[in-house]
Structure formats: C-alpha cells, structure tokens
C-alpha cells in the first residue's frame, strides 16, 4: 500500500500545476469579458471571441488529422457550438456589464448543478438522495445570493434579477451542451468537437455581431481583452482542459469550475475595484458545496 501511494503522489503533483493554471485562466475570462464588452457590446464581444478562438484551434485540428471526424459529424458539432458557446458567451458578456465579474463567476459554478438535473430529466440518469440534497443546497445558495445583491448597474427595476437570470441561463446552456455531447458526440475527438463547436458559434454570432457593432472602433485595451479571451481563455484553455482530463480524470477536470471563481473574485478586486462581501463569499461556498454534492464528488465522504 505504501509503494502504491508513493507512486500516486508524483502523478497527482504532475497535474496540479495544470489544474491551477486552467483555474486561473478561466477565472480571468470574466475580467477580460468586462473589459471587452464595455466597448464592443455583448454580441460583438462573444462573436469576436469565438471567431478568433476558432482560428487558433483550426490549424491545430488539421495538424492532428481530426478534420475527417469533424466532417462526419459537422451538423451536430455546429449545433453544440450554438448551445455551448454562442448563447452562453453572449449572455455572460451582457451580464458582466451590470453585475460584478466575481458574482458571474460564482453563478458559472452552477454548471455541474444544472448538468446533473439535465442528465436526470433528459438522459434518465439516477440521482441518489445525497445528490438531491446537493441540488437543493445549490439552488438555495443562488436564491440567497440574489436576495442580497445590490441592484444591477444600468438596469431598471429588479435589474440584478435579470443579470443573474442571464448567468443561470448561460450555465443551463453549458449543462445542456454537455449532455448533448454525451448523447450525440460520443467517440468524436475532443479537439474536433471543440474547434467545430467554435466554428458553429462563429457562424451563429456573425450577423448579430455585425448588426450591433459599435459606432466607434474599440480601443487597444478592449481588443487586447477580447484577444486574450479567444487565445488564452478559449484556445489554450481547451487544450489544457483536454490534457487535464487525460492526466487526472473527468472528476478533477470538472473541479476547475469550483476553483475558477476564487481567481475571478481576486481579479475583480485587484483590477476592477469590485467590492466583495462576506455574504457573497458565504453564498458562493454554499453553491459550490451543493454542486459538489450534486455531482457526487463529495457524496461518499
């Protein structure tokens, strides 16, 4: 047993740097999203992001010989891109213009929560009693977070509710896309699926982004933020994510969702002067705990 543990230790340490790097990169996506959306607007921000990211991954996909896999499954892959990238990227780009980026990142941590619910409704996957407790706990955390969040900037009435609803709809899209891939894209190489989905998202957002393109050309800061989202937070992050799945397993890869909000909150405080309250942190912990229970990551413990 001692010999086995000593062998497992270095293996675990080998993927921890990738895990933390991916968490830091995905946490930064909300900062870059705010920086880009304030000048581009939400639809152009999402459109430029997926377009540039597709350009980054497309030659890599060709180099690895995965074009035939994309060509065989392109209708489903393109549809997955609309659900997994086009809609949620646009919704998050709109939400970060009205509520703190740290809050949007915490709400993004509900993706596995919705994923378990969608798998139960759509795929008939069984949910154990402890996982139902996790689902309930996660949604309670969201409700508590929404109840004490100040009214959103630039929106009338219950603006915060609309911005939070946009984040939750985006998270639901991610969950639907994950289950769609589980049902219809089994066996498709991950890079072909990722690149093809970005192409689908680019096609979906091309006209809306063109119609809502800002009258004044965005400055270098906004272009740099969108480029960083596309190259770093989408292109490089996808490669890191697939590598992490291979080296550490799906459960550890999914756990990135729980760590990324910590980085996003830190970036918001450091670079955007966002205010973080103890209530916000406490609700975030409730949401993350409920999500981990609902996905079975801490069920046995």
Tell me the per-residue pLDDT of 220-271, one tens digit each, with 9 for 90 and over.
999 999 999 999 998 888 788 877 877 776 666 777 888 889 899 999 999 9
Residue 50, CA distances (Å) to 70, 181, 237, 284 in order? 17, 19, 13, 28
Q: How many whole angstroms separate alpha carbon 84 and alpha carbon 131? A: 24
DSSP 189: -
Determine the pLDDT at residue 3. Answer: 43
Q: What does the block give as tokens for 297?
A: 């990551």
CB 46 within 8 A of CB 209: yes
Determine the pLDDT at residue 154. Answer: 55
Q: How many whole angstroms separate alpha carbon 32 and alpha carbon 45? A: 10
Q: What does the block give as tokens for 70?
A: 């994309």
Q: How many whole angstroms separate alpha carbon 165 and alpha carbon 155? A: 13
CA angle 170, 176, 180 (to 5 degrees): 145
Determine the pLDDT at residue 227. Answer: 95
Residue listed under structure tokens 């100040």: 150
- Stretches where the chain sits below pLDDT 70 are 1-13, 150-159, 249-252, 297-301
pTM of the entire predicted model: 0.87
Grouping H, G, I as helix, E, B as strand and the rest as coil, residue 213 is: coil
- C-alpha count within 13 angstroms, C-beta hemisphere, residue 259: 15
94: how many CB neighbours lie within 10 A of its CB? 21
């Amino acid at each position: 047993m001692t010999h086995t543990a000593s062998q497992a230790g270095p293996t675990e340490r080998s993927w921890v740097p990738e895990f933390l790097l991916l968490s830091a990169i995905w946490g930064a996506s909300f900062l870059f999203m705010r920086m880009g959306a304030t000048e581009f607007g939400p639809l152009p921000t999402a459109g430029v992001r997926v377009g540039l990211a597709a350009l980054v991954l497309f030659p890599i996909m060709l180099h690895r010989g995965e074009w035939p896999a994309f060509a065989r499954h392109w209708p489903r892959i393109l549809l997955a891109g609309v659900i997994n990238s086009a809609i949620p990227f646009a919704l998050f780009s709109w939400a970060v213009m009205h509520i703190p980026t740290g809050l949007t990142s915490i709400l993004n941590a509900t993706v596995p929560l919705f994923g378990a619910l969608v798998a139960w409704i759509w795929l008939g996957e069984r949910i154990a009693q402890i996982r139902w407790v996790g689902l309930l706990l996660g949604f309670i955390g969201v409700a508590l977070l929404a109840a004490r969040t100040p009214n959103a900037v630039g929106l009338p009435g219950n603006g915060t509710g609309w911005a939070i609803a946009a984040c939750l709809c985006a998270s639901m899209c991610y969950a639907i896309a994950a289950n769609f891939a589980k049902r219809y894209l089994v066996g498709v190489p991950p890079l072909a699926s990722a690149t093809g989905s970005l192409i689908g998202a680019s096609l979906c957002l091309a006209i809306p982004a063109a119609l809502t393109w800002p009258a004044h050309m965005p400055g270098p800061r906004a272009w740099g933020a969108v480029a960083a989202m596309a190259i770093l937070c989408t292109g490089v992050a996808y490669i890191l994510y697939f590598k992490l799945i291979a080296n550490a397993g799906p459960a550890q890869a999914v756990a990135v969702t729980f760590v990324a909000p910590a980085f996003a909150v830190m970036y918001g405080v450091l670079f955007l002067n966002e205010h973080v309250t103890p209530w916000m942190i406490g609700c975030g912990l409730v949401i993350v705990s409920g999500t981990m229970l609902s996905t079975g990551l801490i069920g046995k413990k």
